[in-house]
Each structure stands twice: as structure tokens, then as C-alpha cells.
Amino acid sequence: GIQVEQSPPDLILQEGANSTLRCNFSDSVNNLQWFHQNPWGQLINLFYIPSGTKQNGRLSATTVATERYSLLYISSSQTTDSGVYFCAVSGGTSYGKLTFGQGTILTVHP
């Protein structure tokens, strides 16, 4: 199956800083999603981005499918951005069965 690797595993920032999270995957995909898991465990959809670039406020994401990676950019970070960020992918005829990376734990200090 598809392998998903996220980096860095942990990230500590001061409020206002920018950051880039990376997701590498081992095969072609037809679904790639970025999620934010908040301290209560809720998985919040950030982006559905199997290819291309999208932006939503202070967050943006880029997927370069031919090179098998995706990047999540967080600008002007806030304490509410803290939590775990997951990349998840599916490919082929997998009926959208997502394979998750191990996540990046982001801590934003005031």
C-alpha cells in the first residue's frame, strides 16, 4: 500500500511565525487531504488537494503530484493553530480508503 511520511514530527513556534509542513507519499494518489486535529480530538478538514494549490485565510497548501509531495503553509501562526496536522492519501481503486501519516505536532506559544 501507499506509504505516507510527514515532517517534521514536532514543531514549536512563537505566535506570529510562519511554518511549512511536508507530506511525502510513495505512489500516485487520487485523494489527498490535510486535517487539523484539535485538543478535543476533532478532525477538521483543511484541504482536499490531490494536485495544485489552494488557499484558505492564513493557510495554504500545494500538492505536486508528479513528485509525490504536498506542503501545508501556516502564516502568522496563532495559539489556536496548535494541535496535530495530518496528511492522508488514497490512490488507485481504493474507494477512498485513506492512509494517514503519523502527523506533525504543532505547538504555538503566545
Binding site for other proteins (CB under 8 A): 30-31, 33, 35, 40-43, 45, 48, 50, 84, 86, 88, 90, 93-103
Cβ-based nearer residue to other proteins, 16 or 52: 52
- Minimum separation from the CB atom of position 89 to other proteins (A): 11
- Segment (H or E) for 74: strand 69-74
Cβ-based nearer residue to other proteins, 15 or 48: 48
Instruction: Look at strands 104-109 and 52-56 and give their pairing.
Output: unpaired
Among 13, 20, 17, residue whose Cα is nearest residue 82: 13
Q: Which residue has the cell 486535517?
A: 35
- Check: CB of residue 34 under 8 Å from CB of residue 103: no
Cβ-based nearer residue to other proteins, 20 or 51: 51
Q: Which residue has the cell 504536498?
A: 70
- Segment (H or E) for 89: strand 83-90
- Minimum separation from the CB atom of position 6 to other proteins (A): 9
Cβ-based nearer residue to other proteins, 41 or 110: 41
- Minimum separation from the CB atom of position 110 to other proteins (A): 23
- Minimum separation from the CB atom of position 92 to other proteins (A): 9
